[in-house]
Structure 1
Amino acid sequence: MTLSDVDRRSLFRSLCGWGGALALSRIFPAWAQSGTAGLSLAPGALSGETIALTVAEGHFSTGGRSGHAVMINGTLPAPLIRLREGQNVRLSVTNRLREDTSIHWHGLIVPFQMDGVPGISFPGIRPGETFTYEFPVRQSGTYWYHSHSGMQEAMGHYGPIVIDPAGPDPVQAEREHVVILSDWSPVHPHVLLRRLKQMGGYFNMQKQTLSGLLAGKDQNAKERLQWGAMRMDPTDISDVTGSTYSFLANGHGTAENWTGLFTPGERVRLRIVNAAAMTNFNLRLPGLPMTVVQCDGQHVQPVETDEIQIGIAETYDVVVRPTEAKPYALIAEAIDRSGLVRATLAPRIGMAADVPALRERPLLGMKDMGMDMSGMGDMPGHSMKMRDPSVAPQVKMGPGVATLSPMPVDRTADRPTGLESVEHRVLTYADLKSLEPNSDRRAPTRTLDIHLTANMERYMWSFDGVKLSDGAEPIAFRHMERVRVNLINDTMMPHPIHLHGHFFELVTGAGDHNPLKHTVNVLPGGKVSFDLTADALGDWAFHCHMLMHMHAGMMRVVTVRHAADAA
């Protein structure tokens, strides 16, 4: 028997064992196919100064669910775009859909006309037309791209961007993989939204039960009465859940087992993107510590942790060092624990790490309502509209604002939702420090409060009680002014808030090393402050990155003008 005979037989066995995945591999780009050896060896990345993308309809299946998809160059996720800091790039996007489309380059600093938001920075790309985005590449790191038209992003219109630095990379690794997390439903997102408007808790299959109360797993009777008096549900953590969503890593469900290869002892860089429409994930690799080295594409001082809550639209780069020749699970669990996806890091293809059981569903507490009632005694009929009177002129009260947080607190050092009591290390924003001192060290000259508001029961979402479609005034900045922005979450859900065209410094107490971000997850009942240098002229989108919250109204336009123009 010759070596080639053995190789052929091994290949045949692999093909049989991986038959389903290989048969479907044509819908995955090379970087996302299972068994990839890493980005440096993966063919098919789009690079250079001219790149062509075609948006078209497709069909996608996972875990026994299948439905309509929106794909780029025929794949889901979309192709990896790999650029280099300092280059110029022209990206020609052709629309083969029967509706308008667009591409937003999430986290990239581009001229506002190239930002890709229909109605704000350009008119969109009509069916049959091609639009060419052209801009200089001014940064490095891990980013992504997605549609800003309708809700195409939820149907597969998303992909990764990796930008190599012009100089030496401070992150040292022998291998790297991109891991895009997402959620997928065969039900059209407009149908999902309609059901949520009919009943805010439509997809919540984990509500409290009498048996849970008797078993001591849920709230006690007094707490349940308090929440009932406020018409609030402490299990209402995610709007759309695993009852309709399949959770994916690089387009693969758990059974399809996306596998990234490594050699024991290597430093492996994972470029992790949360491209979900509606799901914040808790990410962990059991038995394998993660060293966080980048957040939102920006270098941070390395910090080791065991679990990260990654908000929608955030990116984290972590380095792991698997030392044993065994499979390691990469677990992304929905924060409401309604489902998870398991991917695998392994020394060879065909290995699968164990799938852990879902952890117990968390419950929200009074802190998540912006009011820690400990020590306040029974408060029958208590109204959550108790608030600082100065808030009233700012927030437009009405049917779209069910509650205001009476006592919102800075929660950047808090463990995020559902991870408050786990025994291992959990990353918080307070753990993040920029690698280099921030360039603008001026004190802010003014402060701006922005309230995240909602009537969750009626599925109405807004900033300061006003939806974008109701004629909300732009949030205006003067060019190069320095502003302290306070985001105050008056709802009982976390909101990943994204500002286009800028990075801001998250105020965590790290001084000149406050971390730079483009998206920040504001915990329920909490507040987050960031310092912004308004250095990008133009009109920019500012919104919650929960797709249906944005679509329902939690979005504004930010304008940056020269002082003379602003006057």
Structure 2
Amino acid sequence: MTTPIDRRTLIRGAGALALARTLPAWAQSGHMGLAASPGVLSGESIALTIGTSHFSTGGRSAHAVTVNGTLPAPLIRLREGQRVRLAVTNTLKEDSSIHWHGLIVPFQMDGVPGISFPGIRPGETFVYDFPVRQSGTYWYHSHSGMQEAMGLYGPIVIDPAGTDPVAAEREYVVVLSDWSPLHPHLQMKRLKQEGGYFNMQRQTLAGLLAGRGQPLKERIDWGQMRMDPTDVSDVTGSTYSYLVNGHGTAENWTGLFAPGERVRLRIVNASAMTNFNVRLPGLAMTVVQCDGQHVQPVETDEFQIGIAETYDVVVRPAEPRAYALVAEAIDRSGLVRATLAPRAGMAADIPALRQRPLLTMRDMGTDMGGMDMGRNGVIDLSQPASSGGHSMKMLDPAVAPQVKMGPGVATLSPMPADRTADRPTGLEEVDHRVLTYAELRSLTPNPDARTPTRSLDIHLTANMERYMWSFDGIKLSDGAQPIAFRHGERVRVTLINDTMMPHPIHLHGHFFELVTGAGAHDPRKHTVNVLPGGKVAFDLTADALGDWAFHCHMLMHMHAGMMRVVTVRHEEGTGA
């Protein structure tokens, strides 16, 4: 006798088949860790094919851009000191590319069309060939046509040539991402039409009056400015499904452990637009690596991982029970729960979303004493920044003479604070330990102890209502001049965030040392999340000749103009 199958069962079964088809072996649930994971790509010659697939999760499905037919892309595992040739074939009907995020490679191998190479045309193969000069956790993604948001991203693990200072009996790669069936170009169109299009948590009159913990004066100030303190993320859980290794919460990616084991989690934020807050309730995390660089172990309960950052943590689950691995979007519009468990089939509890965060005057880089409320006490951000009575005192060009004032610059922060010791957005008041950049210290002294010979300020600028993003008020497409460094020079760069959102800023081809007060042990990074109204200083040794991308890693911000080219050249006439 045939058992009737209802429509819901058919849809659920089709979704499971689609998931099984598009997941690589390393990302599948319930295996015993990377040491036992099949399908890892390694060796001196690796072939990758960029193509299209169908992907579905959480009741949402759409066209995806994949590598070797999988989302996420294959895990590439290399060893420090080897050489690798990666032959990348593009079967799409449009140009594509792959950038090796955080890897120190010759600039011709960096994979940014229009800057370091022409891109990979349809039907063509490009061979990336470079020595592996480092170890740690990294990742790769497209730098073409917003393909990264459609699935073209994957992890890289590089084993050290010598002894690994991180001791663990088991390890997993944990790739966090955001997925939407709405094409990223259409998302951008919606944001251009209305900056808060995807924000379903906007302040209401009832909420404004209720306050939700906000002081009355601050509520009135925000109302007068016609700004919304809930404007934390551009693209939200209203369209995104949040994923761990390609799994939504219902699909429950599970990593196995034996009680008492030290488990290393190599966590990569491969999202297009989402900064995540990461925690494992009931398990302390020991941070041992950041952006592929070893740090002195520091124990914490939660950390914020900016887009494109990586963190390696070690956990030691003692009890034979399921533990939740939770990645919550910083605007609290959604989360994804995965599970660490002693056996397959177990599922940890799904925590409730925490209360949405509200921005404060500190996130504006000022207090109301430094602000001109304009005509009738209202700041009209629909007017250009230089529009006389509708502007803020923060727009005084003397604050930042290098910034090109105009409609793309709504605010400048007259009092930006060093926020490297601040808890990041949304985690200011939680009742447990939260990692800050100031707690990160490099495991070994940094290789270049020279004092910088010059300094450079770069403003992160925007008109959020018009969805205009830039560095120093100039979009890349508006003729922004390259940022020039002499080969080998030591420069202190200060990033000043004049917007109300955190920005993960990434420099290709280099590592830099965040200036946190740790001296020779300042943490080395390739991406830094600059908090709203804050500033971050880093010391850079410009040791990589060539042209390099420098940009916000929020994909829509980069495409809207928050990007520049960094050039590193020999000093003229010296040849050195």
Q: Please give the TM-score of this superposition, normalised by the length of structure 1.
A: 0.94
After TM superposition, give the deviation of residue 25 of structure 1 in Å.
1.8
- Aligned partners of 2:150 and 2:56: how far apart in 1? 12
Give 1:4-23 correspondences, 5 Å limit: 21=16
Change in CA separation of 1:222 and 1:34 when aligned onto 2, cut-off 3 Å: same
Give 1:490-509 correspondences, 5 Å limit: 490-509=498-517
Offset from partner CA, 1:99-155 (integer Å, 9 cap, x none): 000000000000000000000000000000000000000000000000000100000
Aligned match of 2:483: 475
Give 1:328-343 correspondences, 5 Å limit: 328-343=323-338
Aligned 8 A contact 1:142 1:160 in 2: yes
Aligned match of 1:486: 494
Aligned 8 A contact 2:168 2:262 in 1: yes
- Aligned partners of 1:300 and 1:388: how far apart in 2? 41
After alignment, is 500-509 or 364-373 more displaced? 364-373
Aligned match for 2:462, one of 418, 440, 454? 454
After alignment, is 134-143 or 226-235 more displaced? 226-235
- Aligned partners of 2:332 and 2:316: how far apart in 1? 27
Aligned 8 A contact 1:327 1:346 in 2: yes
Aligned match of 1:235: 230
Aligned match for 2:263, one of 239, 260, 268? 268
- Aligned partners of 1:223 and 1:415: how far apart in 2? 20
Aligned match for 2:160, one of 161, 165, 172? 165
Aligned 8 A contact 2:226 2:378 in 1: no
After TM superposition, give the deviation of residue 20 of structure 1 in Å.
6.1
After TM superposition, give the deviation of residue 202 of structure 1 in Å.
0.4
- For residue 478 of structure 1, what is the amino acid of its counterpart? R
After TM superposition, give the deviation of residue 225 of structure 1 in Å.
3.4
Aligned 8 A contact 2:72 2:154 in 1: yes
Aligned 8 A contact 2:487 2:542 in 1: yes
Change in CA separation of 1:482 and 1:217 when aligned onto 2, cut-off 3 Å: same
Aligned 8 A contact 2:19 2:57 in 1: no
Aligned match of 2:7: none
Root-mean-square deviation over aligned CA pairs: 1.9
Q: Secondary structure at the match of 2:572?
A: helix
Aligned match of 2:518: 510
Aligned 8 A contact 1:385 1:405 in 2: no
After TM superposition, give the deviation of residue 230 of structure 1 in Å.
2.5
Aligned match for 1:522, one of 512, 527, 530? 530
After TM superposition, give the deviation of residue 217 of structure 1 in Å.
1.7
Q: Where does the alignment leave 5 or more consecutive residues of structure 2 unmatched? A: 1-11, 380-390
Aligned 8 A contact 1:504 1:516 in 2: yes
Aligned match of 1:154: 149
Aligned match of 1:68: 63
After TM superposition, give the deviation of residue 23 of structure 1 in Å.
6.4
- For residue 355 of structure 1, what is the amino acid of its counterpart? I
Q: Secondary structure at the match of 1:59?
A: strand
- Aligned partners of 1:403 and 1:549: how far apart in 2? 17
> 2:439 matched to 1:444?
no
After TM superposition, give the deviation of residue 19 of structure 1 in Å.
9.7
Q: Where does the alignment leave 5 or more consecutive residues of structure 1 unmatched? A: 1-16
After alignment, is 376-385 or 297-306 more displaced? 376-385
Aligned match of 1:145: 140
Give 1:427-442 correspondences, 5 Å limit: 427-442=435-450
Give me the identity figure in percent.
82
> 2:149 matched to 1:178?
no
After TM superposition, give the deviation of residue 21 of structure 1 in Å.
4.2
After TM superposition, give the deviation of residue 61 of structure 1 in Å.
0.2
Q: Please give the TM-score of this superposition, normalised by the length of structure 2.
A: 0.93
Aligned 8 A contact 2:399 2:414 in 1: no
Give 1:303-318 correspondences, 5 Å limit: 303-318=298-313
After alignment, is 186-195 or 228-237 more displaced? 228-237
Change in CA separation of 1:393 and 1:215 when aligned onto 2, cut-off 3 Å: closer
- Aligned partners of 1:203 and 1:25: how far apart in 2? 30
Q: How many matched pairs?
A: 551
- Aligned partners of 1:145 and 1:319: how far apart in 2? 23
Offset from partner CA, 1:214-268 (integer Å, 9 cap, x none): 4442645543332233332111000000000000000000000000111110000
Aligned 8 A contact 2:486 2:568 in 1: yes
- Aligned partners of 1:493 and 1:474: how far apart in 2? 25
Change in CA separation of 1:358 and 1:286 when aligned onto 2, cut-off 3 Å: same
Aligned 8 A contact 2:475 2:563 in 1: yes
Aligned match of 2:569: 561
Aligned 8 A contact 1:212 1:218 in 2: no
Give 1:318-397 correspondences, 5 Å limit: 318-373=313-368, 380-381=377-378, 383-386=391-394, 389-397=397-405
Aligned 8 A contact 2:397 2:403 in 1: no
Aligned 8 A contact 1:230 1:384 in 2: no
- Aligned partners of 1:565 and 1:253: how far apart in 2? 57
After TM superposition, give the deviation of residue 45 of structure 1 in Å.
0.3
Aligned 8 A contact 1:213 1:220 in 2: no
Aligned 8 A contact 2:370 2:393 in 1: no
- For residue 92 of structure 1, what is the amino acid of its counterpart? A
